[in-house]
C-alpha cells in the first residue's frame, strides 16, 4: 500500500509583516493568495489602510518592544511561519551616511539596531521562511557589519540565504527604484524569481497615470480626494510652466533660478523641480513625492506636481486601495509619507511569488523522495 504524502501548499503557511506600513508588501502576498495574519508597525496612523485593504490585523507596536511570545501568538495555530519585513531605511540613506550631526547619528544608530531586533525575533520565533527588503546601501553601511551580522545569524540558525539588489522597474513597477531583497529558508535553497520584464518594455508613467482626469494644483478631483496636488506659489507656477517634459530648472530663464542654482554645487541639482517623462518610468517615490521642489515630481504635462493618487499608482498600488477613512480629514503629508515609505506592491508580488515557488518546489521534492522510498 502506498503511503500518503502531504505535499506542502500555500495554505500551510501564515505570514507576519514587521514594519508593515500601509501594507505594500503585505498586499503583494494577499494578491498571491497567502494568509497574512498580522502587520506590525510603530506608526499607528497606518492602521486604517493596512486593515481596510488586506483584511489582516494591525498591531501598533515598536518592534524593539515586541516579545517572541507575542509575535508567535499572532500566527494561526498549526501553520508554518513566514516572517517578512522592511526595517526603516533612513539610517542607510545617503543623507545620513554623509551627515556629521551627532543627533542624526544617534537616531540613525537606533534605527539600524531595528535589524538586530528583527534578528532576535527570527532566532526565537524560528519562522520557516524569512524575507527582508531595504535600500542597497544596507550592504555597505557601517563597513558592511550590520548586513554581515544579519546574514551570519540566519546561517547560524539553519537558514539557506540568498540576496540581490534589484530595480523595481524589472518587476512591473512604473518606477526606477533600486532595492535590496533577502530571502532565507529553513526548508532549502531559495532565491528571488527572475525579472518579469526582460525586454526593457517597462511600465511607463503614461501607462500608470495617463488615464486619470486632469486637476489643477491645490484642487481635489470631485470624485477622488486622493487625486489632489499641492497648491503652488505664483513663482513655482511660473517655474513649472517653464519646464519641458523630462526637463528641470535649467530650462528656466535665470530670473526664475534659486540662489543655490547660481553656485557651483547647485548646478549639480538635476533632479529638483523636474518633470517626469510620459514614456519612461518615474523616479524613485519618496516621502516628499508630491512636492515640486523635492525631486523630479512634476507632472509630465499638467502644470503641477503629481497627486497622491498618482504617487500611489506609481508605487503600483491598485486604484481602489484606500489610504484614509472618508469620515476623517485627509492629511496630505501623512499619506505622502505612507506612500513613499511603502514597498511597491508589484515588488511585494515578486517576493511572494518567489516564496510560493520555493514552497511548491520543496513540496514536490518531498513527494518525489517519498515515492522513491516506497
Q: Which of 20, 86, 89, 289 is catalytic?
A: 89
Residue where the block lists cell 508580488:
349
What are the φ and ψ backbone dihedral angles of 297, each rounded to 5 degrees? -110, 15
Residue 229 CB contacts under 8 Å (≥ 6 apart), including other chains? 215, 216, 217, 218, 219, 290, 299, 304, 305, 306, 307
In the beta sheet, which residues pair with residue 58?
39
Rounded Cα distance, 176 and 168, in Å: 6
What are the φ and ψ backbone dihedral angles of 40, each rounded to 5 degrees? -125, 130
Residue where the block lists cell 518594455:
201
- Cα separation values, 162 from 152, 171, 191, 192, 354, Å: 12, 18, 6, 8, 12
46 as an active site residue: the answer is no
- Cβ–Cβ < 8 Å for 281, 205: yes
Q: Which three cell numbers stand for residue 156?
A: 547560524
End-to-end CA distance of the chain, in Å? 9
Active site residues: 89
Amino acid at each position: 500500500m502506498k503511503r500518503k504524502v502531504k505535499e506542502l501548499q500555500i495554505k500551510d503557511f501564515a505570514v507576519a509583516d514587521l514594519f508593515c506600513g500601509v501594507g505594500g508588501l503585505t498586499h503583494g502576498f494577499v494578491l498571491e493568495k497567502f494568509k497574512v495574519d498580522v502587520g506590525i508597525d510603530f506608526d499607528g496612523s497606518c492602521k486604517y489602510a493596512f486593515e481596510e485593504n488586506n483584511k489582516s490585523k494591525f498591531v501598533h507596536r515598536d518592534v524593539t518592544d515586541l516579545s517572541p511570545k507575542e509575535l508567535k501568538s499572532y500566527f494561526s495555530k498549526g501553520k508554518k511561519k513566514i516572517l517578512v519585513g522592511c526595517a526603516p531605511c533612513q539610517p542607510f540613506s545617503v543623507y545620513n551616511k554623509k551627515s556629521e550631526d551627532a543627533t542624526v547619528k544617534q537616531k540613525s544608530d537606533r534605527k539600524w539596531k531595528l535589524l538586530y531586533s528583527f534578528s532576535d525575533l527570527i532566532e526565537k520565533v524560528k519562522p520557516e521562511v524569512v524575507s527582508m527588503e531595504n535600500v542597497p546601501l544596507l550592504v555597505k553601511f557601517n563597513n558592511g557589519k550590520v548586513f554581515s551580522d544579519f546574514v551570519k545569524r540566519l546561517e547560524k540558525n539553519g537558514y539557506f540565504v540568498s540576496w540581490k539588489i534589484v530595480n523595481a522597474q524589472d518587476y512591473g513597477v512604473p518606477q526606477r527604484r533600486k532595492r535590496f531583497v533577502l530571502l532565507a529558508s529553513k526548508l532549502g535553497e531559495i532565491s528571488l524569481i527572475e525579472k518579469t520584464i526582460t525586454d526593457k518594455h517597462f511600465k511607463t508613467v503614461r501607462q500608470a497615470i495617463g488615464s486619470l482626469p486632469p486637476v489643477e494644483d491645490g484642487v481635489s478631483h470631485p470624485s477622488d480626494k486622493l487625486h489632489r496636488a499641492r497648491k503652488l506659489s505664483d513663482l513655482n507656477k511660473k517655474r513649472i510652466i517653464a519646464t519641458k517634459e523630462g526637463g528641470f530648472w535649467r530650462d528656466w530663464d535665470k530670473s526664475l533660478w534659486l540662489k543655490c542654482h547660481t553656485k557651483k554645487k547647485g548646478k549639480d541639482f538635476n533632479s529638483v523641480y523636474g518633470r517626469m517623462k510620459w514614456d519612461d518610468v518615474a523616479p524613485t517615490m519618496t516621502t516628499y513625492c508630491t512636492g515640486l521642489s523635492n525631486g523630479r515630481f512634476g507632472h509630465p504635462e499638467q502644470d503641477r506636481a503629481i497627486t497622491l493618487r498618482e504617487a500611489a499608482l506609481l508605487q503600483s498600488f491598485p486604484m481602489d486601495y484606500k489610504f484614509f477613512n472618508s469620515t476623517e480629514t485627509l492629511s496630505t503629508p501623512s499619506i505622502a509619507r505612507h506612500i513613499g515609505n511603502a514597498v511597491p506592491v508589484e515588488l511585494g508580488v515578486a517576493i511572494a511569488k518567489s516564496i510560493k515557488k520555493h514552497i511548491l518546489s520543496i513540496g514536490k521534492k518531498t513527494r518525489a523522495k517519498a515515492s522513491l522510498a516506497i
